Chain A
C-alpha cells in the first residue's frame, strides 16, 4: 500500500539545520519507495500548496511552530482528512501508541532512522484508514438512527390522526414512498413538514 503514496514534507522556514534533517528524511522516504511531491517551507502559502497538491500524507517536524499552520489545514479540510505524521528528535516524547491512543491527528515518532520510516508510515496510514472507516460507520449509524426516528414519528402521526394500526401506517408510508419514488425517510419527513405547516 506504500506504492504511489504521495507525500508532502514540511520544514520550518529559514532553518538550515532543520532543512538538513528534512533532506535526510526525504532521502529515506525516496529509498523506501514513496513519492515526495514537494518539500515545502511552513509559511503562509502552505494551506494553498497543500490544497493544490492533494497529498495522501503530510510529514512535519513536530516541535516546529508550523504545527499551528497545519492545524489550520486540518480544520479547513475536516471533511476530507489526511494523516499528518510528526517527526521529533525528542526521545522522551510520549510513544507513538500514546499519541494515537489520545486520538490526536498526528503520530509522534522519535528518531529519523531511514530503516524505521517505512514501517512507521505504514502503521500510521493503516491506523488513519481504520479511524476514517470507523468515523464513517459512526456517521452512517447516526444518520440511520435519525431516519428511523423520522419514520417512527410519521407513523405515530398517521396512527393518531387516522386511527391506523402501526402495520397499516407503515404500509401506507411504504406505498407512498414507492409511488413517489422517494426514500421512506423522505416521505416521512414530508408528512411531518405538512403537519408542521398546517398545525
Chain B
C-alpha cells in the first residue's frame, strides 16, 4: 500500500481526551502503520479549524460540533469536512461556582430554583460556539427549564481560563473538558453539578477531523492514521495500569501541562463533586469500548446538527442524513478498523435516552430538532 504522505501533522488542544492521539505517537502505533505523527499543540479551536482548511494541519483532535459547524458554514465560509473517527466518549463536566453551591445550587434543579429565587444576570461559559461543550451546557440548562439564550448570558472562554475566571467570580459556571472540572474541585472554587455523561450516557465527544480535500488526496495516510489511533485507544482502555501511564504522559508540559492528580481520578472513573459526594462512574471517559466508542455513528453526527437547528445556528433544516454521510468517512474507518483488528458495529444509527427523557435514534432528525419546548429559532 502506497502511503501518500508519511509525515502527518496532527493538532491537539491540551485536554485529557487528546490522549489517544498522543499515545499513538508515543507508543509507536504510527510507525507500525507506516506513518509518523507529528503533534502540534494548539491554543484555540478556531485556530484548529482554520489550519485544517489551509492544510497547515493534516488532521486534528477536534470538537465534534466544530467539524459540523465548519461543514455548514457557521462562523466561517462552509468547507467540506471529514470525521475520520470518534476519539472518545464522555468525560466532560458542568461546574458551578462555590458561591452558587453555598447558595444552594449544586445540580440542575437547585440551580433553577436559585435563579428563580434570586434573579440577576447569571453567566455561564463554554469553549466554542458550535462545540460540544456549548451543546452540553445548553441541553442541560434547558432540561432544567433554563433557557440558555435568554435566561443566562452564555460566553466563550478557552478551557484553561475557566478555573481562574470562576475563582475570580467573573462567572457562575462553565462546561469544559477534563481536567478543568476536576481542577475546579481540587482548588475548591467549583463543584461538579453534572458530568456530561449524566446528560447523555456514552455521548460522542472529540473526533479526528480533517478537510475532505485532505482525505480524498491521502486515503492511505488516513487509513494508517485511523488504525494507529484505534490501537492507541484500545491500549489506553485495556487496563487501569495503562490509564495511569497515559495520565502520567499527557500531564507533561508538552501536552496538557497540569498535575497528574487533575487528570488521573476521572480517567479511572473516580468522581467527586466537591461537596462530599463521591462515586465510581458507570460511563467515564472511554477511548475504545470494543470499537463502540471510536465508531463514527451517523446518528452522532446528525445530533449536533439537530442542536444547531434548535438554537438557531441553522435557520432551516439541513439534509441531515446526506450531510452526515458526506462528513463521516465510514468506508475508510471500516477498512482501517480491519487493519487494526477492531470490531465494527453493523448499524450506522444508535439509540440513546438523554437527561430530559428525549430519545435520539437518528431516524427523524427534523422532527427531533423541532420537538424541544425550549429553543431559539
Which A residues lie at the B interface, using CB under 8 A? 13, 43-44, 47, 62-72, 74-76, 78, 93-94, 98-99, 102-106, 108
Alpha-carbon distance A127/B125, docked complex (angstroms): 33
* B54 engages A98 (CB within 8 Å): yes
* A47 engages B155 (CB within 8 Å): yes
Some 5 contacts from A to B, beta carbons below 8 A apart, are: A44-B125, A65-B43, A104-B53, A105-B76, A108-B54
Closest to A63 in B: B43
* Complex contacts, A43 vs chain B, CB 8 Å: 165, 170
A63 to chain B, nearest CB (A): 6
| With A68-B45, A106-B50 as contacts: A76 and B79 at CB distance below 8 Å | no
Closest to A13 in B: B161
Which B residues lie at the A interface, using CB under 8 A? 43-47, 49-51, 53-56, 74-79, 123, 125, 127-130, 155-158, 160-161, 165, 170-171, 313
* A103 engages B76 (CB within 8 Å): yes
* Complex contacts, A93 vs chain B, CB 8 Å: 56
Closest to B154 in A: A72
* A70 engages B46 (CB within 8 Å): yes
Most buried by A among B49, B56, B75, B128: B75
Alpha-carbon distance A76/B77, docked complex (angstroms): 15
| With A65-B160, A68-B156, A98-B54 as contacts: A74 and B75 at CB distance below 8 Å | yes
New A-B contacts (6) at CB < 8 Å, excluding given A47-B156, A62-B47, A94-B51: A44-B171, A65-B43, A65-B44, A67-B43, A75-B75, A75-B313
B54 to chain A, nearest CB (A): 4
Most buried by B among A13, A63, A66, A70: A66
* Complex contacts, B79 vs chain A, CB 8 Å: 102-103
* B77 engages A104 (CB within 8 Å): yes
| With A62-B47, A67-B46 as contacts: A72 and B156 at CB distance below 8 Å | yes
